[in-house]
């Protein structure tokens, strides 16, 4: 309806000069009547005065509202063509067109079908490229973290915030926060860090320095005395942890995953350290424990075992009384031995010889793995105790793992933590005294026994710091051979394909989805046509090639 103030007929008396109104009243009446006729509903002036209203979808006429729908909403389902929807959709249709090719556009389109059916229809997206096998596509991460004691209740708000060392200048982004308590009940927050840039690596943080956190909401928490009035003061500092080990004596015969005892006189707790990598070595000679009998010069001597390393061999060069072996010449030292192996003789008549391979470097300690960095460790308060490794022979009842053993000469005691007969190596946690080479030990419980050929023990010094350097790992199965990964077929499994999962029949939406289909890609869809049981059994997405689905391609 036109505002009365905008009607020309109401302004005639004020517009025509007074002398005309007095001398020609009929003319004035004619003019007024003319404009009153022009202003009637459907007359020309009605459209002129409402021109701006007709362009406004909230104020336009019902006839024009339908025209808006026909012009702007044609790619959408017919269900939207009612007067309750058109005005709203026209106002926001630009956003829909801008989002074409995105998941949001698909979701909007299928919500219109929900309106039509008065029911919910879940729409899921799947990109086959996620499960496509690619060479060198593994996502490798080297996690770094630091720990603070007694964190505030709101510490989880720091995630994604910026952490700064006020003395070191180190900067990092807080990627994740894990909360736990130490074995003594001290609350700990472990902040996992992402490198901010090469110049401000997390490795530069200093133990005990004041820290500042700036959250994504621009709130600043700091333990620095030099702060702004709006900053929140909070005492928190990087705690010392078991940072690493300096190996002072690599020794030999070390076994991966062998436990290293961490002994502290201070407040340190919860650190856990094991042997990680051991070195490969070669055979230096063959030692004769018992020469046996009936051997011949030239009999071949070789190593045998299920550990890595092979190729070492020699030959019997001298025999003595009863043709017992008295000398062996090493012909080839072999390669890549990770552990000692049994020594055998290829002889036609010989028997009962006991031989051992000699080495200087097989199983030498290369690195340790820190499985728990603990908290509160200082180098001057901490010592490391490695297990004692022994080469043994003349073994009787070999069930040694977990056995308490006693040296018959030294009186030393210990617990066997590793034993594998083919290697002839045991790893012992020594409880008292020191075992000596050549003595016999006896198991207290099982009664087994053996003689010690030689003994080796690694040594190292703890290094303290404030950064926990976790062993690198892959984030997922990308780049790895897996039953969940598929070779590219340039059809379904490719970079430019996607799939929709919906319970709706494709006949309802296939003509409309073409308007939101991203150019340069190929789209697929499937619909579960059996029971919900099948969907649950195969966990979410069912293989599209099963007969339980309808598979449809569009492009």
Map 105-125 to HEC letters: HHHHHHHHHHHHHCCCCCEEE
Both 408 and 387 in a single domain? yes
Residue 3 inside a domain? The answer is: no
Residue 59 inside a domain? The answer is: yes
Cβ neighbours of residue 144 closer than 8 Å, sequence gap 6 or more:
172, 192, 193, 195, 202, 203, 467, 468, 469, 470
Both 145 and 208 in a single domain? yes
More confident site: 211 or 476: 211
**pLDDT per residue as tens digits for the range 225-276:** 777 777 888 889 999 999 999 999 999 999 899 999 999 999 999 999 999 9
Least confident of 113-117, 186-190, 339-343, 476-480: 113-117
Q: Domain boundary residue among 412, 440, 467?
A: 467
Q: What is the mean pLDDT of residues 502-525?
A: 82
Q: Quick one: pLDDT at residue 534?
A: 40
Both 269 and 371 in a single domain? yes
Asked whether residue 533 carries a pLDDT value surpassing 60, the answer given is: no
> Coil, helix or strand for 22?
helix
Q: Quick one: pLDDT at residue 404?
A: 94
User: Are 271 and 374 in contact, with CB atoms under 8 Å apart?
Assistant: yes
Please provide the DSSP assignment of 421-457 as one string.
Answer: TTTTEEEEEEEES---TT-EEEETTT--EEEEEEEE-
Quick one: tokens of 203?
Answer: 């490795």
Both 76 and 150 in a single domain? no
Least confident of 168-172, 255-259, 444-448, 476-480: 476-480
More confident site: 286 or 541: 286
Both 267 and 297 in a single domain? no
Number of domains in the chain: 5
Residue 34 inside a domain? The answer is: yes
Q: If you average pLDDT over every residue of the chain, what do you get?
A: 84
Residue 274 inside a domain? The answer is: yes
Asked whether residue 454 carries a pLDDT value surpassing 90, the answer given is: yes
Both 192 and 247 in a single domain? no
Both 64 and 172 in a single domain? no
C-alpha span between 343 and 354 (Å, rounded): 8
- Looking at the chain, the whole-number percentage of residues with pLDDT higher than 90 is 44
Q: What is the mean pLDDT of residues 362-373?
A: 94
Both 258 and 377 in a single domain? yes
Q: Domain boundary residue among 312, 329, 359?
A: 359
User: Are 425 and 357 in contact, with CB atoms under 8 Å apart?
Assistant: no
C-alpha span between 417 and 400 (Å, rounded): 8
Look up the domain containing 211 and give its range: 140-217+230-239
Q: Quick one: pLDDT at residue 4?
A: 57
Asked whether residue 2 carries a pLDDT value surpassing 70, the answer given is: no
Q: Could you count the other beta carbons within 10 Å of the beta carbon of residue 515?
A: 15
Cβ neighbours of residue 409 closer than 8 Å, sequence gap 6 or more:
436, 438, 439, 440
Both 414 and 265 in a single domain? yes
Residue 261 inside a domain? The answer is: yes
Asked whether residue 342 carries a pLDDT value surpassing 80, the answer given is: yes
Residue 554: pLDDT band (50, 70, 90) is low
CATH number of the domain within which 340 lies: 2.40.10.380
Both 387 and 402 in a single domain? yes
Residue 402 inside a domain? The answer is: yes
Residue 157 inside a domain? The answer is: yes
- b/e sequence 210-248, b meaning 16+ C-beta within 10 Å: bbbbbbeeeebbbbeeebeeeeeebebbbbbbbbbbebe
Residue 55 inside a domain? The answer is: yes
- The H or E element containing residue 277 is strand 272-278
Both 299 and 383 in a single domain? no
Both 487 and 548 in a single domain? yes
Asked whether residue 512 carries a pLDDT value surpassing 70, the answer given is: yes
Least confident of 197-211, 324-338, 426-440: 197-211
- Tell me how far apart the 2 most distant CA atoms of the chain are, in Å: 161
Residue 218: pLDDT band (50, 70, 90) is confident
């Amino acid at each position: 309806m036109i505002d009365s103030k905008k009607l020309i007929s109401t302004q005639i008396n004020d517009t025509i000069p007074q002398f005309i109104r007095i001398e020609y009243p009929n003319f004035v009446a004619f003019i007024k009547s003319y404009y009153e006729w022009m202003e009637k509903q459907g007359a020309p002036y009605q459209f002129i005065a409402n021109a701006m209203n007709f362009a406004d979808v909230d104020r336009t006429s019902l006839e024009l509202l339908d025209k808006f729908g026909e012009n702007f909403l044609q790619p959408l389902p017919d269900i939207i063509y009612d007067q309750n929807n058109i005005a709203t959709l026209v106002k926001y249709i630009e956003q829909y067109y801008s989002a074409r090719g995105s998941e949001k556009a698909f979701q909007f389109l299928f919500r219109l079908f929900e309106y039509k059916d008065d029911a919910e229809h879940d729409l899921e997206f799947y990109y086959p490229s996620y499960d496509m096998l690619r060479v060198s596509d593994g996502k490798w991460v080297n996690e770094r973290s630091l720990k603070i004691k007694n964190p505030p209740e709101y510490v989880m708000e720091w995630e994604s915030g910026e952490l700064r060392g006020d003395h070191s200048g180190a900067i990092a982004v807080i990627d994740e926060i894990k909360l736990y308590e130490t074995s003594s009940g001290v609350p700990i927050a472990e902040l996992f860090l992402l490198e901010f840039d090469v110049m401000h690596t997390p490795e530069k943080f200093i133990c005990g320095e004041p820290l500042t956190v700036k959250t994504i909401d621009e709130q600043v928490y700091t333990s620095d005395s030099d702060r702004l009035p709006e900053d929140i003061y909070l005492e928190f500092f990087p705690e010392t942890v078991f940072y690493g080990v300096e190996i002072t004596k690599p020794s030999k015969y070390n076994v991966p995953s062998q436990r290293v005892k961490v002994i502290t006189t201070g407040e340190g707790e919860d650190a856990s350290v094991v042997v990680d990598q051991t070195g490969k070595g070669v055979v230096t000679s063959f030692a004769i424990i018992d020469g046996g009998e009936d051997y011949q010069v030239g009999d071949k001597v070789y190593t045998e075992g299920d550990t890595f390393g092979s190729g070492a061999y020699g030959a019997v060069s001298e025999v003595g009384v009863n043709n017992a072996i008295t000398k062996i010449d090493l012909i080839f030292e072999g390669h890549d031995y990770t552990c000692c192996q049994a020594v055998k003789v290829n002889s036609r008549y010989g028997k009962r010889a006991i031989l051992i391979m000699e080495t200087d470097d097989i199983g030498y300690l290369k690195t340790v793995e820190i499985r728990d960095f603990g908290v509160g460790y200082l180098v001057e308060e901490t010592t490391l105790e490695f297990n004692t490794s022994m080469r043994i022979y003349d073994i009787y009842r070999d069930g040694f793992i977990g056995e308490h053993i006693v040296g018959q000469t030294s009186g030393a005691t210990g617990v066997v933590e590793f034993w594998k007969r083919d290697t002839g190596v045991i790893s012992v946690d020594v409880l008292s005294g020191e075992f000596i080479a050549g003595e016999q030990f006896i198991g207290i419980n099982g009664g087994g026994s053996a003689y010690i050929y030689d003994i080796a023990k690694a040594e190292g010094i703890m290094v303290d710091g404030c950064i926990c350097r976790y062993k690198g790992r892959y984030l997922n199965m990308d780049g790895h051979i897996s039953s969940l990964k598929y070779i590219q077929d340039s059809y379904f499994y490719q970079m430019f394909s996607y799939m929709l999962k919906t319970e709706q029949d494709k006949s309802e939406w296939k003509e409309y989805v073409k308007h939101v289909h991203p150019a340069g890609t190929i789209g697929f869809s499937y619909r579960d046509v059996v029971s919900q049981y099948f969907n649950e059994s195969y966990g979410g997405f069912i293989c599209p090639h099963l007969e339980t689905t309808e598979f449809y391609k569009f492009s």
